[in-house]
Amino acid sequence: MENKQDYTKRYRAVFISDIHLGTRAAQADALLDFLKRVEADTYYLVGDIIDFWKVQRGPAWAQSHNDVLQKLLRKVRKGTRIVFVPGNHDEALRDYCGQSFGGIDIVRDTIHVTEDGRRYLVLHGDEFDVVVRYAKWLAFLGDRSYELALWSNAPLNWVRRRLGFGYWSLSAYLKNRIKTAVSFIGEYEKALADVARRHGVDGVICGHIHHAADRMINGVHYLNCGDWVESCTAILEHDDGKMEVVRWTTETEAKHQKLMVERPQRVAA
């Protein structure tokens, strides 16, 4: 666990995904704190930044969601490079891949080269989710169920705070305990590692399944950004090329004044 002052600095690259602006579950305040304290030469937005699925049904758009977008645009104006890889929830923007808007480059996927020369394929990853690809109506149904589980987090944690307990995510617990979900995550990770191998790169950086990870799979470095609705995670590239997954959370009991950074363990496969 690190002191927050250690993270008020510049990195070579930052990767974030699955913010889902436009939903009540979006942790925009925590993301704003992250964006204020972390600078980078390049930011990669790895899909599902704005949740157009929810926007079409009726958005929950707080001022903090505007603030996130404005903060990113200010970074561009100050010289930061931002690369946006649209996901399935903002797939309408895939029609604009190859173009640049407000200084933000929109691409279908890209290759990131680290300082130490390793090459990573960067993509959202939904195209390797069989449910999204072949049964979109089922994906929408699953999205509504997941949204309900996320909504349940708020009242549940209100009670937990009254009892003196810390934050706990019901949706994350269910995702990590349901056997089919765990199996899906494993198959998804292997599929992305296979894609990276076919591209002849050293690793893959993706999002989509809201499950942050840093692991080796059959010689391929698999990195998943996680999300900003449950875990508030991101990937950082240090100046020496080291890649790291960090979890960025705020303690609501202390009115978001205390910051904690945790480093998930790398698991060898």
Please provide the CATH number assigned to the domain covering 4-268.
3.60.21.10
Please state the φ and ψ torsions of residue 78, each to the nearest 5 degrees.
-90, 5
Judged on CB neighbours under 10 Å (0-12, 13-18, 19+), 150 is buried
| pLDDT tens by residue, the chain, 269 residues | 344 444 468 899 999 999 999 988 899 999 999 999 999 999 999 999 999 887 777 778 999 999 999 999 999 999 999 999 999 999 999 999 999 988 999 999 999 999 999 999 999 998 887 544 433 433 443 455 555 555 555 665 556 667 776 665 555 555 555 444 445 677 889 899 999 999 999 999 999 988 899 999 999 999 999 999 888 999 999 999 999 999 987 542 333 334 445 455 444 44
Strand, coil or helix: 78: coil
HSE, side-chain direction, 13 A CA sphere, residue 64: 16
DSSP class of residue 137 equals H
The tokens of 61 are what? 């758009």
Query: In the chain, what are the domain boundaries?
Result: 4-268
The tokens of 81 are what? 């490079």
